[in-house]
Amino acid sequence: MVSALLTPLKVGSITIRNRVGMSAMTRNRAPGTIPSDTMVEYYQQRAAGGAGLIVTEGILVSRQGTEWAHAPGIWNKEQVAGWKKITDAVHAAGSHIYSQLWHVGRVAHPDAPEQKLAGTPVYAPSAISARGGKFRHIPGQPGYVTPTAVEDPWTLVEQFKQAAVNSKEAGFDGVELHGANGYLITQFLDSTSNSRTDQWGGSIENRSRFGLEVLKVLVEVFGPDVGLKVNPAGGYNDMGMPLQETLDTYRYFIEEADKLKLSYITLVRYQAATDVEYDGKKRATIHDVLESYRSSVKNAKLFLNASVTPQEGAELVAAGKIDGAFIGFPWITHPDLVKRVQHDKPLDNVPDIKHLQWGKDASDFSVGYTDYPVAVY
């Protein structure tokens, strides 16, 4: 039975209709960084399919040259207008939606078209490059470069604040800070990517400062409707510290974040599929994130993400270990995921792997995006 997952839950100032969230997933369908009409249909379908809370794909807080040529932004009026269409459609279908605020930091490329348009260096906490990477939309498909250490991190904090202001104008119910997957927040937290000797680096308190200051300005804008996503196990984008340092760092960061009265904190479990290997060794620091950090969350609602099935999510909710589950990939292939769960229908659609990300060979954004069938009820 999955009934425990299908009950309402108060999250910040809103009450979501069930405890099944749709987690953020980059789908690369925003040409010129502007949300497309096909994206409106995509999110509307999943709201109509029963999602309790939708978190958008990562939304860039400023113009950056990411590995995804068609990732959306939220720094100008045209983007805000595009997102407003999406939030209106989601609300009309009975769901709620948070914007996920995203800065990729060192894993951008100076030769990417959007980075050239930005006219700024690839910024990071320190001039330490990530290993790997492949920018398929740049000739030669180069990897990551050595970034420029940002002189004044407050300038980046301000970008997040403006993105929150723009998110409010676009009609979002809240914002989620992307503090996972080796992007900017993680780069400040992790001692392997942050070698600063000022107030933004060195000690755990200093390495946590950037993420906490960003959360504070988001709370200034959205009050209790601010979420945080973290994946302490690392791996992806060349992230990870020794186990004890990981535990000490993330327990401090999560506990301090929780004091800000956030709406929820999402823990992302270790995922072998997104781990990377260097010199024959796995990069991630594998450990049980729920067991390790559950006690650090006392105020926010706690969600779990990464290969959580509806059955497992319901069992964890019933046991009082989590408040809800963010499900990812199955939402791509099943726009009616919650309805299927409610009616005991199988999750049997076959994923169109070729069109997970829109690329040069795609003639239509909808292929592998909005064309998955719903079940017969």
125-137 residue pLDDT tens = 999 999 988 899 9
- Rounded mean pLDDT of 30-36? 95
- 246: pLDDT strictly greater than 60: yes
- 362: pLDDT strictly greater than 90: no
User: In whole angstroms, how far apart are CA 359 and each of 69, 71, 102?
Assistant: 8, 12, 21
- 303: pLDDT strictly greater than 80: yes
Q: So what's the pLDDT on residue 212? A: 99
- 364: pLDDT strictly greater than 90: no
Query: Of all helices (H) and strands (E), which one includes residue 114?
Result: helix 113-118
Closest CA to 328 of 310, 315, 343, 316: 310
Q: So what's the pLDDT on residue 360? A: 58
**End-to-end CA separation in angstroms for the chain:** 19
- For domain 3-355, say whether CATH 2.70.210.12 is its number: no
Structure tokens at 366: 């909808």
312, 231, 236, 349 alpha-carbon torsion, rounded to 10°:
30
Say if CB 297 and CB 254 are below 8 A apart: yes
- 361: pLDDT strictly greater than 90: no
User: Which residue type sits at 240?
Assistant: G
Q: What is the mean pLDDT of the chain?
A: 97
- Rounded mean pLDDT of 205-214? 99
- Rounded mean pLDDT of 42-61? 99
Q: So what's the pLDDT on residue 221? A: 99
Query: Of the given ranges (124-128, 191-195, 365-369), which has the lowest mean pLDDT?
Result: 365-369
Say if CB 114 and CB 64 are below 8 A apart: yes
- Rounded mean pLDDT of 184-188? 99
Residue 347 — very low, low, confident or very high, per pLDDT cuts 50/70/90? Answer: very high
Distance CA 204, CA 209 (A): 9
Active site residues per annotation: 183
Q: So what's the pLDDT on residue 359? A: 62
Considering the chain, what percentage of its residues have pLDDT values greater than 90? Answer: 94
Q: So what's the pLDDT on residue 358? A: 81
Distance CA 287, CA 275 (A): 13
Residue 299 — very low, low, confident or very high, per pLDDT cuts 50/70/90? Answer: very high
- 21: pLDDT strictly greater than 60: yes
Say if CB 9 and CB 15 are below 8 A apart: yes
Considering the entire predicted model, what is its pTM?
0.97
Q: So what's the pLDDT on residue 1? A: 76
Distance CA 92, CA 23 (A): 20
User: In whole angstroms, how far apart are CA 14 and each of 8, 24, 161, 322?
Assistant: 10, 19, 21, 18
- 105: pLDDT strictly greater than 70: yes
